[in-house]
Amino acid sequence: MNYTFQFNVVWRNFDALLEGAWLTLQLGVFAFTMGALVGLLGAAIKTYGPWPLRWLVNLYVVFITNTPALIQIYFLYFGLPEFGIRWSNEACVLIGLTLNAGAYLTMILRAGFLSVRRTEMEAGETLGMSPVQKIRYIVVPHIAKSIYPALANFFIVILVMGTSVGAVIGVDELTGQAINLSTVNYRWLEYFTVIAVMYVVLTFIASLGLALVGRWAFRVKARIF
C-alpha cells in the first residue's frame, strides 16, 4: 500500500468538523426529547386510550418501524414540496428523526406502562388523581427507573449516529461536513478516520451525560459506554 496519510489537511479544517459535531449532538438531543414526548403520548394511548386512537397509533408505529428513516426524511424533503409544504433540510431531518424516535419509543415506553403495578394505579385513583396526574406522578417515575438504560442506549445508537442520514440531503452535521471537505482535496480516508474517532467521543460524552442525569434525577445506575 503506497497511500500516504496527510492528516494536516484535516486539522486545517477541524473547526468545521467541530461545528458539524455540535449540530449532530443538537439534532440528537432535540429529536430524542420530542420523540420521547411523542412516544409517551403514544404509549399512553396504546395502554389507556379508546380503540380508534389505539388503531391510529398502531398504524403509525407499524409504518415508521418498518420503513428506513432515510425514506421518511426523503418524503419530507422531496415529497412535501409537491403539496406546497417546504421545510429546510435541517427541519426535515429533525422532524423525520423525531417521528422515527417517537414510534420506537412508543413501544419502549409502553413496556414501562405495563410494568406499573395495578395497586399503584389504584392508589392514585383513591387519591383522586386524574389520568394525566397518574401518568405524571406514578407512571413516568416508574418508567424512568425501570427502562432508563434502554432509553439511553436508544439515544446513543439510533439518534446520535442516525443523524448521519442528514448528510444525504445536505445537512452539515459531522458526516455532512466530512463529505463537503473531502470533495475539495479528496482526502476521504483521513477525514472519515477522524470523524470515526469523533463519533466515539460523541458517544462517550452522550453516555456520560445520560448516566449522570440518570443517577441524579432518577437514581438509576446507568452504564457509561
pLDDT in tens, 88-120: 999 999 999 999 999 999 988 888 777 777 787
Using an 8 Å Cβ cutoff, are 97 and 27 in contact?
Answer: yes
Residue 120 lies in a domain: no
User: Please, what is the average pLDDT of the chain?
Assistant: 86
Count of domains for the chain: 1
**Which bin fits 219, alpha (ψ -120 to 50), beta or left (φ > 0)?**
left
Percent of the chain with pLDDT over 90: 49
Write down the residue that cell numbers 398504524 correspond to.
59
Percentage of the chain beyond pLDDT 70 is 95
Domain with 170, as residue range(s), is 13-106+152-218
Specify if 165 maps to a domain: yes
Task: Give a yes or no: residue 112 inside a domain.
Answer: no
Q: Is residue 203 within 8 Å of 160, Cβ to Cβ? A: yes
Q: What is the CATH number of the domain that holds 159?
A: 1.10.3720.10
Q: Note whether residue 80 is domain-resident.
A: yes
Per-residue model confidence (pLDDT) at position 21: 93
Whether 223 maps to a domain, the answer reads: no
Q: Which residue has the cell 438509576?
A: 220
Measured distance CA(4)–CA(82) in Å, rounded: 47
Report yes or no on 196 lying in a domain. Answer: yes
Say if 84 falls within a structural domain. yes
Q: In this model, does residue 62 exceed pLDDT 90? A: yes
In a domain, 142, yes or no: no
Beta-carbon neighbour count of residue 138 at 10 Å?
18
pTM across the whole model: 0.86
Distant-in-sequence, close-in-space partners of 87: CB < 8 Å, separation ≥ 6: 76, 77, 80, 95
Q: Which is more confidently placed, 23 or 217?
A: 23
